[in-house]
């Protein structure tokens, strides 16, 4: 569903007049804010298929810190690879990277591990690679990245729309007060069921991630 369709979905449930644009009135703008609040809650509740993507970048010789393009602080890393050398990068602590880079004799070579290192000036996650690359290597980071806040009328919601609609409707009922229909408390129960059902369906696509193997 588009952002505008989501707003009108909530407005109809509230018995309010639908709008032709998300910014048509202060009330439609508020409903849009509540939808974005609900979207964030739903996105952070599960590693949704629709939010999975691969961030790739080439290294630069003697440069150890790289931004993961398009990521935000809500992004989750699934796994990382040095695609050039066909090996998985191992996660390490920042202390390990500091020890290897600044305390021990600095080593440049084929990167085989990484550690997160804050964010860049635009809020994108950064990683340090170790050893510091001595040439160009192609890196692959498989991520779960939340969608940017909905703003344009035509922007399509990536995660399942049902739990977002149900939760945003609950937020709107709580803000508006009793309307003679379902209460906000009851609606949050409906939203919880909708979210649980959506997670169950999506999780079925990655059954192997729910299987524990002795190593």
Give me the mean pLDDT over the 132-141 stretch: 97
* Token digits of residue 171: 């937020």
| Domain locations in the chain as residue ranges | 3-44+147-205, 51-144
* Token digits of residue 47: 């590693």
Tell me, rounded to whole angstroms, the distance of Cα 54 from its chain centroid: 13
* Token digits of residue 125: 């996650």
Give me the mean pLDDT over the 143-153 stretch: 97
Would you call the peptide bond into 131 cis, given omega within 30 degrees of 0 as the criterion?
A: yes
The residue among 52, 76, 37, 45 whose CA lies nearest residue 200 is 45
* Token digits of residue 66: 């790289």
pLDDT in tens, 38-96: 999 999 999 999 999 999 999 999 999 999 999 999 999 999 999 999 999 999 999 99
Is residue 160 scored above 90 in pLDDT?
yes
Cβ(42)–Cβ(167) under 8 Å? Answer: yes
Q: Could you give the CA distance from residue 139 to residue 89 in angstroms, rounded to a whole number?
A: 9
In degrees rounded to 5, what are phi and psi of residue 16? -110, 160
Give me the mean pLDDT over the 193-212 stretch: 85
Q: Which of the two residues, 68 and 214, has the higher pLDDT score?
A: 68
Q: How confident is the model at residue 207 (pLDDT cuts 50, 70, 90)?
A: confident
**By percentage, how much of the chain surpasses pLDDT 90?**
86
Is residue 210 scored above 90 in pLDDT?
no
Give me the mean pLDDT over the 189-206 stretch: 94
Q: How confident is the model at residue 152 (pLDDT cuts 50, 70, 90)?
A: very high
Q: Angle between the 26-43 and 161-176 helix axes, to the nearest 10 degrees?
A: 130
- This prediction has a pTM of 0.87
In sequence order, what are the beta bridge partners of 127? 66, 116
3-state secondary structure of 33: helix
Q: Could you give the CA distance from residue 29 to residue 40 in angstroms, rounded to a whole number?
A: 17
Sequence-ordered list of residues with C-beta below 8 angstroms from that of 153, at least 6 positions apart, any chain: 2, 3, 4, 21, 22
């Amino acid at each position: 569903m588009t952002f505008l369709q989501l707003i009108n979905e909530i407005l109809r449930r509230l018995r309010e007049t639908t709008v032709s644009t998300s910014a048509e009135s202060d009330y439609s703008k508020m409903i849009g804010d509540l939808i974005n609040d609900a979207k964030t809650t739903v996105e952070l509740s599960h590693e949704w298929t629709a939010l999975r993507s691969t961030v790739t970048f080439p290294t630069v010789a003697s440069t150890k810190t790289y931004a993961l393009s398009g990521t935000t602080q809500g992004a989750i890393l699934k796994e990382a690879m040095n695609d050039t050398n066909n090996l998985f990068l191992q996660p390490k602590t920042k202390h390990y990277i500091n020890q290897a880079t600044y305390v021990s004799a600095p080593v440049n070579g084929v990167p085989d591990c990484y550690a997160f290192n804050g964010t860049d000036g635009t809020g994108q996650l950064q990683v340090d690679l170790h050893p510091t690359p001595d040439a160009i290597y192609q890196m692959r980071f498989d991520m779960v990245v939340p969608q940017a806040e909905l703003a344009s009328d035509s922007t399509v919601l990536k995660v399942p729309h049902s739990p977002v609609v149900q939760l945003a409707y609950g937020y709107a009922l709580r803000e508006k007060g009793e309307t003679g229909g379902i209460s906000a408390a009851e609606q949050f129960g409906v939203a919880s069921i909708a979210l649980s059902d959506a997670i169950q369906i999506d999780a079925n696509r990655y059954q192997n991630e729910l299987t524990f193997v002795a190593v």
